[in-house]
Amino acid sequence: MDAHGIEALLAWAENHPAASIHTRAARVRSGLAELTERRAAEDAQREAEERVAKAKAELEAAQARLREVKTGGRTAPNGKDATLLANVPATTPDAIGRRSKEHLAAIREWARANGHHVADRGTPA
């Protein structure tokens, strides 16, 4: 039965002389109104969630661009790169201010992994 047929049936029931049929029609209309409201609320919630997800994605992209600008186009150390220097044994500069060969090698490795040009010898700047 299509919507026109259902509407005609409800109109018939609402005008029926028997109270039980009239009451049933009222309950059906009430149920349909409730379902319509619930569907509208769910649609509005889904649309709001989609807008929030889109805004979050835009915010994350903007934050990534900001980080890139702040670092001058270089990526900030994170994840594996951040642990690269952390895995080098902690050494304090000796009396004349030099770092160990291992520490300098780790610094060079990190710098190269992040797109920096570093000489094989000397102190990385």
Q: How far apart are CA 58 and CA 63, in angstroms?
A: 9
Interatomic CA distance for residues 125 and 103, integer angstroms: 13
Give the range of the structural domain holding residue 28, as residue numbers without chain letter: 1-73
Percent of the chain whose predicted confidence (pLDDT) is above 90: 50
Look-up of token digits 């028997």: 18
Separation CA 105–CA 99 (nearest Å): 10
Q: Tokens at residue 3, please?
A: 């919507």
57 with 98, same domain: the answer is no
Report the C-alpha dihedral over residues 98, 100, 103, 107, rounded to 10 degrees. 40
Least confident of 20-24, 45-49, 66-70: 66-70
Distance between CA atoms of residues 67 and 62, nearest Å? 9
Where does a domain end: 56, 73, 90?
73
CB 114 within 8 A of CB 75: yes
Q: What is the total count of domains within the chain?
A: 2
Q: For residues 121 and 77, which has the higher predicted lDDT (pLDDT)?
A: 121
Question: Could you tell me if 28 and 49 lie in one domain?
Answer: yes
If you average pLDDT over residues 66-77, what whole number do you get? 75
The more confident residue out of 105 and 21 is 21
Task: Print the SS3 string covering 28-91.
Answer: HHHHHHHHHHHHHHHHHHHHHHHHHHHHHHHHHHHHHHHHHHHCCCCCCCCHHHHHHHHCCCCC
Mean of all residue pLDDT scores within the chain: 83
Considering 54, 73, 92, which residue would you say is the last residue of a domain?
A: 73
For residue 81, the one-letter residue type is D
What percent of the chain has a predicted confidence (pLDDT) above 70? 78
User: 69 and 79, same structural domain?
Assistant: no
Residue 59 near residue 80, CB atoms below 8 Å: no
Are residues 91 and 63 part of one domain?
no
26 and 12 in a common domain: yes
Give the pLDDT confidence score for residue 92 in this predicted structure: 54
Q: What is the pTM of this model?
A: 0.46
